Amino acid sequence: MLKAYSWLTFCVVVWGSNVVFGKILVEDFSPGLLTSLRLLFIVVFLVGLTSYKKNFKRVNKSDVLSILFLGVIGVFINQWSFFRGLQTADPTTSAIILAMTPILTGLFA
């Protein structure tokens, strides 16, 4: 039980520090560069994970265009907007907006 709570605490600390480190980074780097680097590291991690685990289902070629389209809208624009907003807003306001995203998505759905 202690191990599970330790992992949960670690995840909350990492998630919460996302806004603080983002605010620090946007002072020196552009939102586009930060978004691109963030997504690059995620892709490298996922490619490494899929090469380690061999029992993943392959994606149909007809679905690749949809996945790329949704990735650009749902991930890239989301992250770019997050870093762009941190250039003008304080981290507390940004964290509140980020935390309300699932609630608003549920209401709009």
The verdict on residue 63 lying in a domain is yes
Q: In whole angstroms, what is the distance from residue 86 CA to residue 89 CA?
A: 5
Whole-number pLDDT of residue 37: 92
By residue range, what is the domain housing residue 29? 19-108
Whole-number pLDDT of residue 9: 94
The verdict on residue 76 lying in a domain is yes
Count of domains observed in the chain: 1
The verdict on residue 5 lying in a domain is no
Both tokens assigned to 96: 């509140």
Per-residue pLDDT of the chain (109 residues; tens, 9 = 90+): 899 999 999 998 888 888 889 999 999 999 999 999 998 998 899 888 888 877 777 788 888 888 888 888 888 888 888 889 889 888 888 888 878 888 888 888 8
The torsion region of residue 79 among left (phi > 0), alpha (psi -120 to 50) and beta comes to: alpha
**N-term to C-term CA, the chain:** 36
The verdict on residue 85 lying in a domain is yes
**How far out from the chain centre does Cα 69 lie?**
16
The verdict on residue 100 lying in a domain is yes
Contact 56, 50 (CB under 8 A): yes
Full-model pTM: 0.73
The verdict on residue 11 lying in a domain is no
